[in-house]
Amino acid sequence: MSFFKAIGRLPWSARIGLLILLLFALCILFAPWIAPYGESQIVGDVWEPIGGTFLFGTDQIGRDLLSRLVYGARNTISLALLTTALAFLVGGLLGFLAATMRGWVDQLLSRFVDIIISIPTLIFALIVLSAVGTSIPVLISVIGLVYAMPVYRIARAVAMDIEIMDYVEVARLRGEGLWWIMRREILPNALTPLAAEFGLRFCFVFLLISGLSFLGLGLQPPLADWGAMVRGNADGIAWGFYHGLVPASCIALLTISVNLLVDWLVNKASGLREGQ
Amino acid sequence: MIIKRFGFGLLTLFAISLLITVGIEFLAGDVCTEMLGQMAHPDTVAACRAELNLDRPVHIRYAEWFWNLLHGDMGISLANRREVSELISKRIGNTLFLAGMSALISVPLAIGLGVLAALYRNTAFDRVISITTLSAISVPEFFVAYILMAVLAVNFQIFPAISNVDSFMGFFERVKVSALPVLTLTLVVLAHMMRMTRASIVNLLASPYIEMAKLKGIRPARIIIWHALPNAWAPIIQVVILNLAWLVVGVVIVEVVFVYPGLGYLMVDSVLFRDMPMVRGTAMVFAATYVLLNLLADILSIFANPRLRHRG
């Protein structure tokens, strides 16, 4: 019951965000059962009208757009989640390390991050992808590493605040190792601020991935991917076939609902801090 | 302090160019074996490498490339054997036109709307603006672009859907053709700048001297424009320039949407063809603009805030 009570206490904006995210989560988990047709199955004519036999019509080569959307949710969102997780793993670990060890490790890592961060992310991703070519592991590691940089900065700042606490000093004097301090003293206390950050970074990663696949550098066909679907169907817009706007709205819907939830999280966290 | 900041900016640029070169070297493998295929005769490969200057060690090639760069020479495109610097200089004017027009419209509009939103804060006007801008920030650029295209180019047919500008066009014709990309970029940066303007003014409204002005019975509009705005300049300048820097990157996708012959389109094309000299050249231009604009933001905020000017 307490779960439903907690939802009842949410502001309406967070409730809408949560509802939409649940919907997408269902698509990710049960894609083959929800989608009426196969991922790359050609079922009709090119650009059949929206709302006819097919709920969202068909795409530029006659595949059911709804099915593509459902599978696209699975591919695009899980790719972005994996990438964000990698960014937080690498960035968080290095950030904690820099904050606990200080000295030259901190200096070296921080200056390196300063340089990488001064290259715009999209440009950086374009350079690396042009050199290595596109494949799923490359995409995940490149974008993950690019976004590990801002995560490093935040993790380091958060950990710096914790590192000066007395209990960390006590653990040091007790003779605990570096890894123990990072895992048992710093991580639990840094988790809440980093959680809100995760949502925000997920949006950036998601937008970058959609942007890249829009440019033809993301997931390769016949895999369904929202960004690539926008590009593929966009030619129709000039003739009044608005099918390309459907996957584009899905991208917008997802980022807006994540933002609504993050807004609520941040408000809640800062409200708690004021109450202390 | 300004000189120190400037030096750091130059150092960053140098480090970026080094990073791009080494990165490409490491990751790209051998361009020649890739172009000629695995089965090519060793002599052909050697000839190709000699022609592309690939037969010398990396650090010498980097030094050479850097030296040539200082003289405005960025090498030859692999795709069509033309000078990289010639192709870039042809396109860069178009991109600057796009970014400049968007900046010209969005900056005054953003500051004006931000001040208005701060003045009428917590009213319906403020809330409408806040929700619109929040959604404008969180959607991808191409979404905004295609919506505009569907409404303004297809439904009402006011502007052309594809902006193929050329150098023979007059100013007004050029403005009309590139109206949609300019509008898209404006909308996307407007939202962020406006929110920050509003936030930095509202932040200041809690300070004692504003309270004092209020108690003296000065009108709210006058308080905001004469008392709050001058102190809010530093963060506003910062945000405006950061958004201009963002604009430089945002053009990439918007140019692709509208098939606008600018630098971003050129870069995406050369990435798809894996034309490395071209990628390197365009990437350097983008990175340099970005770094220089960030530098400018720092220097301007030092000037706008007298307290920073006298600190070590």
Report whether B130 contacts A259 (CB < 8 A): no
User: Best residue in A118, A256, A266 to probe B by mutation, most B CBs within 10 Å?
Assistant: A118
pLDDT in tens, B199-251: 888 878 778 888 888 888 888 778 877 877 777 777 788 788 888 877 877 78
pLDDT score recorded for residue A84: 92
Q: Assign B36 a pLDDT band (cuts: 50, 70, 90).
A: low
Task: Check CB contact under 8 Å for A123 and B287.
Answer: yes
Q: What is the CATH number of the domain that holds A232?
A: 1.10.3720.10
Q: Assign B140 a pLDDT band (cuts: 50, 70, 90).
A: confident
pLDDT for A86 beyond 90:
yes
In a domain, A3, yes or no: no
Report whether A184 contacts A250 (CB < 8 A): no
Q: Examine residue A222 and say whether the peptide bond preceding it is cis (omega within 30 degrees of 0).
A: yes
In a domain, A1, yes or no: no
Amino acid (one-letter) located at A193: P
Q: Assign A276 a pLDDT band (cuts: 50, 70, 90).
A: very low
pLDDT score recorded for residue A85: 92
In a domain, A221, yes or no: yes
In a domain, A150, yes or no: yes
In a domain, A43, yes or no: yes
pLDDT in tens, A199-236: 888 888 888 888 888 888 877 777 778 888 887 777 77
Report whether A151 contacts A88 (CB < 8 A): yes
In a domain, A276, yes or no: no
Q: Which span out of A60-64, A161-165, B35-39, B150-154 was modeled with the highest average pLDDT?
A: A161-165
Q: How far apart are the first and last CA of chain A?
A: 28
Whether ipTM tops 0.90, in short, is no
Distance CA B160, CA B176 (A): 8
Residue A49 tokens, joined? 């009208």
Report whether A91 contacts A151 (CB < 8 A): yes
HEC secondary structure over A26-58: HHHHCHHHHCCCCCCCECCCCCCCCCCCCCCCE
Task: Check CB contact under 8 Å for A255 and B149.
Answer: no
Which residues of chain B lie closer than 8 angstroms to A215, CB-CB? 252-253, 256, 268, 271
In a domain, A244, yes or no: yes
pLDDT in tens, B279-306: 888 888 888 888 888 888 878 877 776 6
In this structure, what DSSP letter does residue B227 have? I
pLDDT score recorded for residue A188: 84
Helix (H, G, I), strand (E, B) or coil at B169: coil
Residue B42 tokens, joined? 């060793």
- Residue at token pair 């308080």: B223
**Within an 8 Å CB–CB cutoff, is residue B15 touching chain A?**
yes
Length of chain A: 276
Tell me which residue in B138, B147, B161 faces A238 most closely, judged by beta carbons: B161
Question: How many structural domains compose chain A?
Answer: 1
CA dihedral A109, A111, A115, A121 (to 10 degrees): 40
Which residues of chain B lie closer than 8 angstroms to A259, CB-CB? 134, 137-138
pLDDT for A26 beyond 60:
yes
pLDDT score recorded for residue B312: 44
> Which of the pair, A146 or B303, is modelled with greater confidence?
A146
Mean pLDDT, chain A, integer: 80
Domain of residue A202, residue span: 8-270
Q: Kindly report each contact of residues B227-234 with a partner whose C-beta sits within 8 Å and lies 24 or more positions away, as own/partner.
A: B228/B118, B228/B201, B228/B204, B229/B115, B229/B201, B231/B204, B232/B197, B232/B200, B232/B201, B232/B203, B232/B204, B233/B304, B233/B305, B234/B301, B234/B304, B234/B305
Task: Check CB contact under 8 Å for A120 and B249.
Answer: yes
pLDDT for A274 beyond 50:
no
pLDDT score recorded for residue A88: 92
Q: Assign A195 a pLDDT band (cuts: 50, 70, 90).
A: confident
By C-alpha distance, the chain B residue nearest A202 is B138
Residue B56 tokens, joined? 């010398």
pLDDT score recorded for residue A89: 92
**Within an 8 Å CB–CB cutoff, is residue B294 touching chain A?**
yes
Mean pLDDT, chain B, integer: 76
In a domain, A2, yes or no: no
**Within an 8 Å CB–CB cutoff, is residue B47 touching chain A?**
no
The stretch A32-39 carries a mean pLDDT of: 72
pLDDT for B73 beyond 80:
no
Distance CA A140, CA A69 (A): 21
The stretch B44-72 carries a mean pLDDT of: 68
